[in-house]
């Protein structure tokens, strides 16, 4: 069933250059779009937004650590290793399950959704496109993306439930940032 779903999506590729290029762009650059969004939100956001950015970034990192652990326990060959298919981009023949790109995207989006739904929803749509593009490009099975979503939900949920434990560290990081930039602003004004 996983392979049949994969074929139904991946077999759409190769017919339309604009669509293939869009999928390749998303699959290669979505993670940078998420990072840039978090940086912009951090720079222009207030303290609550900075907290949300730190939690989203931390959730993404922790979810990827979970992926590494899963890959050490369970190895799923990528579709192009097991089947004769043409990928849109080259990729190492490492473990397919779960998709790191999808996990990073979903975990950041879900973590942001917990705090700012208006930002989290567009991020989640981009995360869905990221997962879809990984299948379209021939790099992952659909269940790899579903597995990524499950990892992201689980990690984001745990982080939210344990946020009281992380709050002192998050507040400390923000206070260090604020003190550095308030000192810089004071010295710039006095010059």
Task: Give residue-wise pLDDT tens across range 108-120.
Answer: 999 999 999 999 9
- Does 49 have pLDDT greater than 90? yes
Residues in Cβ contact with 174 at an 8 Å cutoff, skipping those fewer than 6 apart: 47, 50, 51, 54
> With bands split at pLDDT 50, 70 and 90, how would you rate the model's confidence at 106?
very high
CATH of residue 154: 1.20.144.10
What's the token pair of residue 76?
Answer: 């799923």
The answer to whether position 145 is within a domain reads: yes
Q: Interior CA angle at 119 toward 10 and 39, to 5°?
A: 90
- The pTM (predicted TM-score) of the whole model is 0.90
Distance CA 83, CA 78 (A): 9
The answer to whether position 68 is within a domain reads: yes
Average pLDDT over residues 65-85: 93
Its domain, for residue 102, covers 2-174
Per-residue model confidence as pLDDT tens digits over 29-40:
999 999 999 999
Task: Please report where in the chains the tokens 């473990």 appear, as a residue.
Answer: 95
- Does 191 have pLDDT greater than 80? no
Distance CA 146, CA 165 (A): 29
Residue 24, pLDDT score = 96
Per-residue model confidence as pLDDT tens digits over 153-190:
999 999 999 999 999 999 999 999 999 887 655 555 55
The answer to whether position 163 is within a domain reads: yes
Tally Cβ neighbours within 10 Å of residue 82.
Answer: 13
Q: How many domains does the chain have?
A: 1
Q: Interior CA angle at 20 toward 104 and 99, to 5°?
A: 25
- Does 1 have pLDDT greater than 90? no
When mean pLDDT is compared across 1-5, 103-107, 108-112, 159-163, the lowest value belongs to 1-5
H helices of 11-141, in order, are 17-44, 47-73, 79-82, 100-115, 117-136
DSSP structure class, residue 161: H
């Amino acid at each position: 069933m996983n392979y049949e779903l994969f074929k139904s999506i991946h077999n759409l590729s190769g017919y339309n250059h604009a669509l293939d290029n869009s999928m390749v762009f998303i699959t290669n650059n979505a993670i940078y779009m998420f990072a840039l969004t978090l940086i912009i939100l951090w720079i222009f956001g207030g303290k609550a937004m900075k907290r949300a950015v730190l939690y989203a970034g931390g959730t993404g990192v922790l979810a990827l650590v979970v992926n590494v652990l899963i890959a050490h326990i369970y190895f799923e060959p990528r579709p192009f290793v097991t089947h004769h298919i043409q990928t849109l981009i080259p990729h190492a023949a490492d473990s397919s399950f779960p998709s790191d790109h999808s996990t990073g995207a979903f975990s950041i989006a879900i973590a942001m959704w917990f705090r700012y739904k208006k930002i989290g929803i567009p991020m989640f749509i981009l995360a869905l496109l990221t997962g879809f593009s990984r299948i379209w490009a021939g790099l992952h099975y659909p269940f790899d993306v579903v597995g990524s979503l499950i990892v992201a939900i689980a990690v984001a949920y745990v982080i939210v439930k344990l946020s009281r434990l992380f709050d002192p560290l998050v507040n400390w990081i923000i206070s260090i940032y604020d003190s550095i930039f308030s000192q810089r602003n004071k010295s710039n004004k006095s010059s």
